[in-house]
Chain A
């Protein structure tokens, strides 16, 4: 045995004995648990279909000015152009007489005419349905993102304070959450929006604020549960022993480890938020008449119920759009629930 046994750093022997999995850069960055969530979301065909639907809507929202440009560059692009004032809806492919937006670039190559029409017809008051759907996608993302970000922040702050301090503070905050959960969500949002409308004026904001005010509770409950389990771990005790302040322990040590599931859950709640917003608009609370928002476009149909077989396009197209949008988020959300379910952990 004269052979030199200088360590080379190459654990070839070890690698043969124990199966070693190479860890990619993304997994290193996210951590094993969060990485499992992300890959789990990309596994089933249903969630991939969901991502495709979401991507399609993001594309529509970004490309709205190219799909159908606003009538005048200086006008508010979110107001649906009206082709006259008669109340009766006009069918699909009806000629666009007045107040038409400029022809989009794709129209001529596809149809080979300069003849501009209402692709999906007009609704009550001659509002163009196609315009409402395309620009309504922007409204949907705008309201969805604002509400989700705000409810997420409020929920995380309240939930983490509650969990971190525990005891009486926790008890009081959780009873506070209970009170907010006692009113049916849509009812509570309806009231607050009705109160705020005369104060703020008809715009997106009354409904958005109402959805925020009654939408944060779920996140505070979830983050509370996650923090409660993390705060018992040894490294938190270690941080406390070396004299770290409450704020530092909470924000540097606990939150980054606890926040990810809530974050993913919140980002997938956009579908639900858009649904609630559309419901409020449909009930006539929220934006001014003619604003490009799906609930508003659908609410025009309320006066035409007895002749819906003739005017089916005033509910079918905006309805289908809303369903596709919400379904995209639900498909991904469904996969997420499977991934996050602790009972199914370690089985994938």
Chain B
């Protein structure tokens, strides 16, 4: 077990190195002038001043020098002040958002996290249950509905789905508006009496005892949650179903039935735990899917998270900002993949013994 975890941990620096190199290589497509946004706020118009900046930050140096400087930043010898340096959490300056990229991520990420948690939690709870039901009653109505839903669901582009639900539930029936919160709620949230315990609005509003704010937050989030998660529903139900079907054909399940166990115990205690193994792998992939999915979902619903920020930066060709987001996403994914792999080893002895 510990060898497996150590081997897996050793992979982390390697992946980090790989991802930073990949992003740095993409940065090299930009001209030195554009790359100076990694270090300075306002890029001057004057040609001499630009050359000065390029010289000062070594943007004309060999690529490995530049890579190192990008990692650790540039320290001014006289004042000891450091500029840049992604290892110290300086991802550069966002021209389109007029603030530093890290600040932008800090402002926006809690919203995205709020959305993704609400999108994935019901799927994990109810989606798996539905999948098990579909397998137990194979070719029953849940099974057929899950099959049709999953094909239609995976064929529906997120942005088409998002626009359609907006058309129905915002324009036609004014139930669920886009955006983050209503004006009255946002005034309340910004007031001093509202404490930000977790930065997640849905949870903070409950902790503050403001159920009306919570309802307003959920009213704005329900359509994005639906848009972000309908594909996950489809995929989870199907994978759980096929994994469960396979497990139910195993001989030990027959044994359990033969010795007279109640069918409920056969399914819940014997079959289901083993059928969960591929579902956990899938959960890992879903994190990648969600981080990609928020780009479109947040754009459609005008939801102020990192996805919408990345999309609007990309649309205005603000590459330094988008690469900052990519770096951040990469970090999250490396960590979450690590967690999934370790979890996997705990659950499935075959993984840690191989």
Chain A residues packing against B (C-beta within 8 Å): 46, 175-176, 178-188, 190-199, 271, 275, 278-279, 282-285, 295, 298, 301-302, 305-309, 312, 315-316, 319, 322-323, 326-327, 330-331, 334, 343
Contact = CB atoms under 8 A, between A and B. Distances in A.
B22 interface: yes
Interface of B is mostly: helix
A283 B299 contact: yes
B163 interface: yes
A194 B171 contact: no
B151 A46 contact: yes
B155 A179 contact: no
Contact of B157 (A183, A185, A275): A275
B323 A308 contact: no
Given A191-B322, A323-B155, 9 more contacts: A178-B15, A182-B333, A185-B292, A279-B296, A283-B311, A305-B166, A305-B171, A309-B167, A319-B160
Given A178-B18, A184-B291, A309-B167, A199 B29 contact: yes
A187 B295 contact: yes
B39 to A, nearest CB: 19
B314 interface: yes
A278 B26 contact: no
Contacts of A176: 18
Contacts of B317: 194, 197-198
B231 to A, nearest CB: 11
Given A196-B29, A309-B167, A187 B156 contact: no
A322 B295 contact: no
Interface stretch (B56-64, B77-85, B200-208, B324-332): B324-332
B288 A184 contact: yes
Contacts of A330: 151, 154-155
Contacts, number: 151
B299 A187 contact: no
B26 A192 contact: yes
A175 B14 contact: yes
A323 B171 contact: no
A154 to B, nearest CB: 16
11 contacts: A186-B293, A186-B295, A188-B326, A190-B295, A194-B317, A196-B29, A282-B159, A285-B314, A305-B178, A315-B164, A319-B164
A308 B296 CA distance: 19
B19 A179 contact: yes
Given A187-B326, A192-B26, A182 B15 contact: yes
Contacts of B296: 186, 279, 282-283
B314 A194 contact: yes
Contacts of A322: 157, 160
A191 B26 contact: yes
A229 to B, nearest CB: 17
Nearest to A341: B242
A186 B292 contact: yes
A190 to B, nearest CB: 5
Contact of B18 (A179, A185, A186, A306): A179
A179 B166 CA distance: 36
B290 to A, nearest CB: 8
Nearest to A180: B22
A322 B319 CA distance: 29
Nearest to B159: A282
Interface residues of B, number: 54
The 10 closest A-B pairs by CB, nearest first: A179-B18, A184-B292, A327-B155, A319-B160, A308-B167, A284-B315, A186-B292, A194-B314, A326-B155, A184-B291
A42 B311 CA distance: 41
B310 interface: yes
A322 B317 CA distance: 26
A285 B163 CA distance: 19
A54 to B, nearest CB: 13
Nearest to A272: B154
B36 to A, nearest CB: 16
Contact of B151 (A179, A185, A334): A334
A269 to B, nearest CB: 13
Nearest to A194: B314
Contact of B326 (A183, A196, A323): A183
Nearest to A195: B29
Contacts of A175: 11, 14-15, 18
B283 interface: no
Contacts of B319: 191, 194-195
A263 B334 CA distance: 30
Contact of B166 (A308, A323, A331): A308
A294 to B, nearest CB: 9
A279 B155 CA distance: 13
Contacts of A186: 292-293, 295-296
Nearest to B148: A46
A169 B63 CA distance: 25
B314 A283 contact: yes
Contacts of A312: 167
B224 to A, nearest CB: 13
Given A182-B15, A305-B166, A331-B151, A298 B159 contact: yes
Contacts of A197: 317
Contacts of A190: 295, 310-311, 314, 322
A46 B151 CA distance: 10
Contacts of A180: 22
Nearest to A196: B29
A194 B325 CA distance: 13
